[in-house]
Amino acid sequence: MKNHLSAALFFAFAASASGGSFDQLRRGLELPLVPDPAPLSRATEALAGDTRYWITVGADDKYDRTALLNAGLDIIETQKAYVSGLIEAELMDQLAAKGFIVKSRRTIQDYARQHLKDFPAGDAAYHNYKETTDLLLALAAEHPAEASLFSLGKTIEGRDIWCLRLNTAEKGEAPSARPAALFMGNHHGREHLSNEVSLALARHLLANKAAPEIRQFLDTLDIYIAPMTNPDGAEYDIASGKYRWHRKNARVNADKTIGVDLNRNYDSLWCQAGASHYPAADTYCGPYAFSEPETQAIKRFVESRPNLKTLMSYHSYSSLLLYPWAGKDTPVESERDRKVFEAMARGMTAFTGYTPQQSSDLYVATGDTTDWAYAARGIFSFTTELEGTTFYPGAAMIDKASVKNVKAALYLLGVTADPYKLAR
């Protein structure tokens, strides 16, 4: 992981509510940033007017990290004694008063200037919404005996949330009694790699449909792959031709800020921890649970599929495999289920090399996909944080991440028919 501290920008203050006065802290925050002599590059034009900062803040444990999420920090990188991420200027100004020590800060424009090596034009290997749609249509057309395509629903901007179904017996939205698995990508707009891994899985299964192991899956399981759950956010992120570092959907909030964090909008202890009620925050949970058409679509779909046994939600980046609870500090209550979660996590990370852990060991965050799917429907649900050190890791990362995550997905499919065999 890169060290984002720059000597020129480094400033720290022993901030705590009891240590130095609030005025001193304010003065600390108002230290002028070292002006960058370079004009805004192409990378940062799209960020003109964006008032977020990339900050590094002292955080010793998951309780600190949860408190920082509550304060509106979008934690992107985690180290032993600190975290880094994006935060609105107004919320950053409140951190010191809440006892947090901001070790460094830089504007998002400055951060992007240094950390964005590939521009969208150089990232042609990534699929935008239209390319994703075309690819899914082509896969369904080329493999009519195994695949079909349907829409889970429409987004705020009217885009279809496509879902490719792999099942040799049932097509489209027809019910099936077969054990089912759901794979989803791109809940967060800027996490384009998660769309690619989902697409790679779909392509792998169909390209190798004659192989005995895959044939078995196609003949006995009901497999759903929705690579782009938040197409509005993904498109907004690249619409200007430059990345916007956009996480949320395209909802225009009451205060005119854009977006609700879809992975904080599910109805499981909604917005009780690790999420923000502040609409400008990147972890804004929305006005109420399932307020967004994207999460409503997934809710409707999942509730209509009692045969769903397993679920994988791809995100980026941190090289982690996370399982419930995310929103509670305690393990899942059923010991049998916990054994299954742990065994599945070991099974998948044997292929990815990622770190398996209960989600809340990282920080407590309520309202995510996996907690809701497990709490409401008993589905063994996982979040994969793909690898890399940036949301925009370039084209070479696609194959690297896909190869190992497809293997992990095949493992998950291999245990979908009878997850509880792992607890016996």
User: What number of chain residues touch Zn ion (CB under 5 A)?
Assistant: 3
Contact between 312 and 183 under an 8 Å Cβ cutoff? The reply is: yes
Nearer to Zn ion, 159 or 192 (CB): 192
- Residue 385 appears among annotated catalytic residues: yes
CB of residue 418 to Zn ion, shortest distance in Å: 30
Nearer to Zn ion, 188 or 246 (CB): 188
CB of residue 362 to Zn ion, shortest distance in Å: 12
CB of residue 6 to Zn ion, shortest distance in Å: 26
Choices 44-52, 160-168, 176-184, 310-318; region in contact with Zn ion by CB under 5 A: 310-318
CB of residue 70 to Zn ion, shortest distance in Å: 18
Q: Convert 185-203 to b/e letters by CB count within 10 Å (16 or more is b).
A: bbbbbbbbbbbbbbbbbbe
Site string for Zn ion, 220-259 (x = CB under 5 A): ----------------------------------------
Choices 134-142, 278-286, 308-316, 326-334; region in contact with Zn ion by CB under 5 A: 308-316
Nearer to Zn ion, 167 or 360 (CB): 360
Rounded to whole angstroms, the Cα distance separating 111 from 114 reads 6
Q: Coil, strand, or helix at residue 413?
A: helix
Closest CA to 220 of 413, 423, 411: 413
| Range list of H helices, 242-334 | 293-303
| Range list of H helices, 143-277 | 192-207, 212-220, 231-238
Choices 18-26, 32-40, 181-189, 365-373; region in contact with Zn ion by CB under 5 A: 181-189
Q: Which two tokens stand for residue 16?
A: 């705590």
Choices 83-91, 128-136, 187-195, 272-280; region in contact with Zn ion by CB under 5 A: 187-195
Nearer to Zn ion, 217 or 382 (CB): 382
CB atoms within 10 A of CB 245: 23
Q: Which two tokens stand for residue 184?
A: 């989803």
Rounded to whole angstroms, the Cα distance separating 232 from 129 reads 9
CB of residue 245 to Zn ion, shortest distance in Å: 12
Q: By CB under 5 A, tell whether 165 contacts Zn ion.
A: no
CB of residue 412 to Zn ion, shortest distance in Å: 19
Contact between 362 and 78 under an 8 Å Cβ cutoff? The reply is: yes
268 class by beta-carbon count within 10 Å (0-12 exposed, 13-18 middle, 19+ buried): buried
Rg, C-alpha atoms of the chain:
21
Nearer to Zn ion, 76 or 269 (CB): 76
CB of residue 263 to Zn ion, shortest distance in Å: 6
Choices 130-138, 161-169, 189-197, 333-341; region in contact with Zn ion by CB under 5 A: 189-197
Contact between 183 and 240 under an 8 Å Cβ cutoff? The reply is: no
Rounded to whole angstroms, the Cα distance separating 331 from 327 reads 10
Contact between 165 and 294 under an 8 Å Cβ cutoff? The reply is: no
Nearer to Zn ion, 15 or 76 (CB): 76
Q: By CB under 5 A, tell whether 315 contacts Zn ion.
A: yes
Nearer to Zn ion, 187 or 305 (CB): 187
Choices 92-100, 120-128, 186-194, 361-369; region in contact with Zn ion by CB under 5 A: 186-194
Q: Which two tokens stand for residue 1?
A: 């992981």
CB of residue 171 to Zn ion, shortest distance in Å: 31
Options 88, 146, 191, 385, the catalytic residue: 385
Contact between 273 and 66 under an 8 Å Cβ cutoff? The reply is: yes
CB of residue 73 to Zn ion, shortest distance in Å: 15
Nearer to Zn ion, 74 or 337 (CB): 74
Q: By CB under 5 A, tell whether 188 contacts Zn ion.
A: yes
Q: Which two tokens stand for residue 237?
A: 């992120």
Q: By CB under 5 A, tell whether 192 contacts Zn ion.
A: no
Q: For the chain, what percentages of helix, strand and coil (3-state, to nearest 5) are there?
A: 40, 20, 45
Alpha-carbon distance values, 27 to 11, 12, 13, 23, 96 (Å): 11, 12, 10, 6, 11
Nearer to Zn ion, 184 or 206 (CB): 184
Q: Which two tokens stand for residue 362?
A: 């990282």
Residue 75 backbone phi and psi in degrees, to 5: -70, 120
Closest residue to bound Zn ion by CB = 315
Rounded to whole angstroms, the Cα distance separating 411 from 349 reads 10
Q: Which residues are catalytic?
A: 385
The footprint of Zn ion (CB under 5 A) covers 188, 191, 315
